[in-house]
DNA sequence: GTTTATCGTACCTTCACAAG
DNA sequence: CTTGTGAAGGTACGATAAAC
């Protein structure tokens, strides 16, 4: 959130079946290092045949490299450097950051039928400024918005109203606090910080006392909570907090670490939710702590597959997992 | 050095709905 | 009724940083 990321726009070119027009430049150090400027001719590869990546400048057309902006393109606040990244510090007022956090709020709660563009329209019309405002939208608010109408409005309003009962974990997930991930939220709740008040009033010292959280992280999370107080309060004012479902600890899945790669017979999300609901943990990569890699492939170039082979992690098929889950 | 987790990014396909 | 737009769902992985 709030990071200014340079993106290269290139003349469209087909690489392994896809037309590439943009490639991330990650940060300004990279531009300097590769000495990239507008109109230069570059070599692009798709890493892992997916992500377009600028390898190097092949022909230098313009001298020097592109300089980083000094002010936020959205709110014109002077930018600050945080490690390799340029950040806009205006977290709660910068329009881009507000839109970004509203979008992530909807994403996290899986509010369907509402996209970036719709959120931007609602924001411009002053209908939604904080996430809690979503809950007060009426179908009539959509009638005069170009591209939307009665049907869309009804769907969106119904979707939002169906997200009124939330667990504390869901609320904190949806609050989009940097470095305060699901895993850490669960850790805090389990450590006894199990009400919104306790979380909102948590101290750096209390955070630092938790395993895996030292002073740097503790301060970031603390600051993140302070920056998001209005945001969180607006959610709390419009929802009902419910207790989470209890998990059956007898399951063979409980407490085990999983990773998934490749195509499945069901949407990936379905399998992931099954793992979580049975008390399993999901990781985005395979390490020595992984218990099972689930895949239907017998050979694959993905890093997950290769790591599993290397580390001797048990590779099971989707159907083997389903047997385990019974 | 290794582990964990987050963020950022492209693009395809399908389908629902708005607008004329 | 037709056409166009936009939402959703799906996939992979690199770069990075703090913790351990």
Alpha helices in A162-286 (DSSP H): 168-174, 182-190, 196-200, 204-208, 215-227, 229-236, 268-277
Q: Which nucleotide is nearest to A177 (CA to C1')?
A: B6
Length of chain A: 326
A239 CB contact with strand C at below 7 Å: no
Q: How many domains does chain A have?
A: 4
pLDDT band at A125 (very low <50, low <70, confident <90, very high): confident
The answer to whether residue A183 scores a pLDDT higher than 80 is no
Answer yes or no: is A247 within a domain. Answer: no
Residue pLDDT, tens place only, A57-87: 778 888 877 777 777 777 788 777 766 667 7
Q: Which of A219, A167, A204 is nearest to A189 (CA)?
A: A167
Distance in angstroms (rounded) separating the CA atoms of residues A222 and A65: 37
Q: Considering only residues 241-280 of chain A, list those whose CB is below 7 Å from strand C.
A: 261-264, 267-270
Q: Which residues touch strand B (CB under 7 A)?
A: A 1, 3, 5, 7, 17-24, 50-52, 146-153, 155, 176, 178-179, 181-183, 257, 281, 283-285, 287-290
Percent of chain A with pLDDT over 70: 87
Q: Which nucleotide is nearest to A114 (CA to C1')?
A: C7
β A18-24/A7-15 pair status: antiparallel
Distance (Å) from CA A204 to C1' B20?
A: 59
Q: Considering only residues 145-184 of chain A, list those whose CB is below 7 Å from strand C.
A: 147
Point out the domain boundary residue: A142, A164, A186: A164
A81 with A56, same domain: the answer is: yes
Residue pLDDT, tens place only, A237-285: 999 998 877 667 777 888 788 888 776 766 677 777 777 777 777 777 7
Other Cβ atoms less than 10 A from the Cβ of A162: the count is: 12
Residue A167 token pair: 């667990």
pLDDT band at A46 (very low <50, low <70, confident <90, very high): low
Question: Across residues A116-133, what is the average pLDDT?
Answer: 81
Would you state the pLDDT for residue A237? 92
A304: domain CATH number is 3.40.50.10190
A2 with A82, same domain: the answer is: yes
Range of the domain at A197: 166-241
Higher pLDDT, A273 or A1: A273
Contacts of A119 by beta carbon, 8 Å cutoff, 6+ apart: A99, A102, A103, A106, A128
Q: Which residue has the tokens 């955070």?
A: A207
Q: Which of A121, A115, A92, A70 is nearest to A2 (CA)?
A: A92
Point out the domain boundary residue: A241, A265, A282: A241
pLDDT band at A217 (very low <50, low <70, confident <90, very high): confident
Mean pLDDT of chain A: 77
Nucleotide C4: closest residue by CA–C1': A147
Residue pLDDT, tens place only, A193-214: 888 888 888 888 888 877 777 7
Lowest-confidence segment of A8-17, A227-236, A245-254, A284-293 by average pLDDT: A8-17
Distance (Å) from CA A146 to C1' B20?
A: 14
Question: Across residues A92-104, what is the average pLDDT?
Answer: 79
A156: domain CATH number is 1.10.150.20
Residue A220 token pair: 């970031």
Contacts 24+ apart (CB under 8 A), A77-85: A79/A4, A84/A27, A84/A28, A84/A29, A85/A3, A85/A4, A85/A27
Listed as ranges, the nucleotides of chain B within 7 A of a protein C-beta are 2-12, 16-19
A42: domain CATH number is 2.40.50.140
pLDDT band at A164 (very low <50, low <70, confident <90, very high): confident
Q: Are A137 and A121 in contact (CB under 8 A)?
A: no
Answer yes or no: is A252 within a domain. Answer: no
Question: Across residues A218-226, what is the average pLDDT?
Answer: 80
Other Cβ atoms less than 10 A from the Cβ of A235: the count is: 23
Which range among A118-122, A177-181, A297-301 has the greatest average pLDDT? A118-122
Between the alpha carbon of residue A120 and those of residues A1, A66, A72, the distances in Å are 17, 30, 18
Question: Across residues A292-316, what is the average pLDDT?
Answer: 76
A210 with A267, same domain: the answer is: no
β A165-166/A240-241 pair status: parallel
Other Cβ atoms less than 10 A from the Cβ of A212: the count is: 8
Answer yes or no: is A248 within a domain. Answer: no
């Amino acid at each position: 959130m709030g990071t200014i990321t340079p993106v290269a726009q290139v003349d469209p070119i087909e690489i392994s079946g896809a037309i590439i027009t943009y490639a991330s430049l990650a940060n300004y150090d990279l531009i300097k290092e590769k000495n990239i400027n507008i109109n230069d001719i570059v070599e692009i590869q798709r890493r892992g045949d997916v992500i377009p990546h600028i390898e190097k400048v092949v022909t230098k057309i313009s001298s020097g490299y592109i300089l980083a902006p000094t002010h936020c393109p959205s709110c014109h606040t002077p930018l600050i450097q945080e490690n390799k990244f340029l950040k806009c510090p205006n977290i709660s007022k910068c329009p881009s950051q507000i839109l970004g956090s509203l979008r992530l709020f909807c994403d996290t709660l899986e509010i369907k039928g509402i996209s970036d563009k719709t959120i931007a329209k609602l924001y411009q019309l002053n209908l939604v400024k904080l996430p809690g405002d979503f809950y007060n939208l009426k179908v009539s608010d959509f009638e005069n918005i170009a591209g939307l109408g009665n049907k869309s409005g009804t769907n969106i309003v119904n979707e939002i109203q169906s997200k009124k009962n939330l667990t504390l974990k869901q609320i904190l997930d949806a609050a989009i606090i940097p470095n305060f991930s699901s895993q850490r939220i669960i850790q805090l709740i389990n450590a006894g910080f199990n009400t919104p008040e306790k979380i909102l009033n948590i101290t750096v010292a209390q955070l630092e006392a938790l395993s895996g959280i030292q002073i740097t992280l503790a301060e970031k999370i603390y600051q993140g909570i302070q920056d998001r107080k209005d945001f969180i309060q607006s959610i709390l004012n419009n929802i009902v907090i419910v207790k989470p479902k209890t998990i059956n600890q007898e399951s063979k899945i409980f407490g085990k670490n999983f990773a998934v790669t490749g195509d499945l017979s069901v949407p990936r999300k379905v399998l992931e939710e099954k793992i979580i609901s049975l008390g399993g943990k999901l990781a985005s990569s395979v390490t020595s702590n992984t218990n099972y890699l689930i895949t239907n492939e017998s050979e694959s170039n993905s890093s997950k597959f290769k790591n599993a082979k290397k580390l001797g992690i048990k590779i099971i098929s989707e159907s083997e997992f389903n047997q385990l889950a019974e």
